[in-house]
Amino acid sequence: MYMRNYLAPKSGFTLIELLIVIALLGALAVGLLATIDPFEQLKKGRDTSLRNTVSEFYNANLRFYSTKGQFPWGTDATAGPAYSGFSSWIDELITVGELKARFKELAGSSNLEKIYVNSTSGENLSACFKPESKAFQEDLNTIYDSSGVTSSVTCKAQTTGTSGSECYFCIQ
């Protein structure tokens, strides 16, 4: 008959030791998530995508202007959301080769609706969007209103305060 020697050392972990290790790993995971803030990272990714779309749209209009002597909308002053009124102008930029054929598809109509385009006297051009992420709200280019004029509201880029809900990132 087999008799177990209770004086011999046991191998393995006790339930209490395992629970302590699991609790410590959980605390580390919570701390890591708080540091990384996945929702902020998603917002920053959307803002980066939108900034690239705005930049591409802005540069395409400048190239169009340099070859044609005017913007796709002519010499009229214009302001407002890019996609609702500017869809035909985006098509014209695609037709003349200033934008990729799949620009609308790649940018997405939801992104294009967030862009504000302003042109005074058909010469000056600004393309703006309202950033979602803290990093873009604190960027030095986020000091404008939707028309591309320096905002009358104090923006986060100008102070460490919490104001700046009406501040836009603009390329001019």
pLDDT at 70: 86
What's the pTM? 0.75
Alpha carbon distances (Å) from 90 to 5, 32, 87, 132: 84, 43, 5, 25
Distance CA 66, CA 61 (A): 9
pLDDT at 48: 93
pLDDT at 86: 77
Distance CA 95, CA 89 (A): 10
Give 10-residue mean pLDDT values along the chain (172 residues): 61 87 92 82 92 93 90 75 74 92 88 86 83 89 85 70 70 90
pLDDT at 5: 61
pLDDT at 62: 92
Distance CA 60, CA 103 (A): 11
Which run of H or of E encompasses 128? strand 124-129
pLDDT at 8: 59
In the numeric block, the tokens 């959307």 are attached to: 46
